[in-house]
Structure 1
Amino acid sequence: MDADRDLNFAIGWNRFNLSLVGIWPDPLQNPKQKSGLSRCRFIIASFFMLGFVCIPQSANLVFIWGNVDMMTENLATANIPVANSFMKAFTIWRKRKVLKLLVNFFYQDWYTPKTSGERTIMLKNAKLMRKISIWCTILTQTLLIIYIVLKISAIIFSPDDSSRPMIYTAYFPFDVIKSPIFELICACQILSAFSGTVAYTGSDSFISMLVIHVCGQFENLRERLKNLVNDPNGIKTSQEFKSIFVGFILVHLYIYCYVGEMLLVQSTEIGFSAYESNWFNVPGKEARNLLLIIHRSTAPLSLTAGKFSTFSLQMFSKIVRTSLGYLSVLLTVTERKDNS
Structure 2
Amino acid sequence: MKYLFFVGLWPEKTLTGYQKVFYKIYEFFIHFLTITFLTLAGIGTYQHKDDLVVVFSNLDKCLVVYNFLFKTIIFVIKRDKLRDLIDEIEMSGDEVTEERKKLMANYVVLLTGISAAVVGAFSLLALYEGTMSIEAWLPFDPMESLRNQILSLQILAFCVFPGLCRAFAMQGLVCSMIMYLCDQLIHLQKEMATLDNLTEAEMRMKFKKIIIKHIRLMGYSMKMENIFKEYFLVQNLAVTVELCLNAVMVTVVGVQQITLLITFLAYLIVALINAYVYCYLGNELIIQSQGIALAAYESTWTSWPVDLQKDLLILIGAAQRPLKLSAGGMALLSIETFSQALYNGYSIFAVLNDAVN
* TM-score interval, smaller chain: 0.5 to 0.7
Look up the match of 2:8.
22
1:17–1:202 contact (8 Å) kept in structure 2: yes
1:227 to partner: Cα distance: 2.6
Alpha-carbon distance in structure 2 between the residues aligned to 1:238 and 1:209 = 27
CA distance in 1, matches of 2:18, 2:88: 21
Aligned position for 2:42: 58
The verdict on how the C-alpha distance between 1:36 and 1:219 changes in structure 2, with shifts beyond 3 A counting, is: farther
Q: TM-score, normalised to structure 1's length?
A: 0.59
Distance in 2 (CA, whole Å) between partners of 1:221 and 1:25 is 34
Q: Which residue of 1 aligns with 2:234?
A: 266
Secondary structure of the residue that 1:234 maps to in structure 2? helix
Q: Contact (CA 8 Å) 1:48, 1:188: kept in 2 or not? A: no
Cα 1:32–1:175 shift into 2, 3 Å? closer
Q: Contact 2:44/2:137 (CA < 8 Å) preserved in 1?
A: yes
1:39 aligned partner, one-letter code: K
CA distances 1:55-106 after superposition (whole Å, capped 9, x unpaired)? 1111222222242211121112x31112222222222122110111232234
1:223 is displaced (CA, Å) by: 2.5
Partner of 2:25: 40
Q: Deviations over 1:191-250 (max 9, x none)?
A: 123213212222222211110011111122222333346569935659964773354233
* Counterparts in 2 of 1:81 and 1:242: CA distance versus 1, 3 Å: closer
Q: Is 2:102 aligned against 1:102?
A: no
Distance 1:213 1:82 in 2: 28
Structure 1 portions without partners, runs of 5+: 1-14, 156-164, 274-300, 316-340
Match of 1:257 among 220, 225, 232: 225
Q: Which residue of the partner structure matches residue 73 of structure 2? A: 90
* Percent pairwise identity: 14
Q: CA RMSD in A?
A: 4.0
Match of 2:55 among 42, 67, 71: 71
Q: Matched residues in 1 for 2:34 and 2:230: separation?
A: 22
1:16-44 Cα distance to aligned partner (Å, 9 max, x none): 43223211365x45698883344233222
Equivalent residue letter for 2:45: L
Query: Structure 1 residue 206 and structure 2 residue 168: aligned?
Result: no
Question: Over residues 102-161 of structure 1, what are the superposed CA-to-partner deviations in whole Å (9 max), with x where a residue is unaligned?
Answer: 32234335xx2x7xxx65xx3343333233222211211111221232344455xxxxxx
For normalisation by structure 2, the TM-score amounts to 0.57
Q: 1:93 to 1:18 in 2, by over 3 A?
A: same
Q: How far apart are 1:47 and its partner, in Å?
A: 1.7
Distance 1:124 1:60, change over 3 A: same
Q: Within 1, Cα distance between the matches of 2:125 and 2:229?
A: 40
Give the corresponding residue for 1:311.
325
Structure 1 residues 47 and 249 mapped into 2: Cα distance closer, same or farther (>3 Å)?
closer
**1:224 lines up with 2:191 in the alignment:** yes
**Residue correspondences, number:** 252
Q: Is the 8 A contact 2:67 2:235 kept in 1?
A: no
Name the counterpart of 1:135. 110
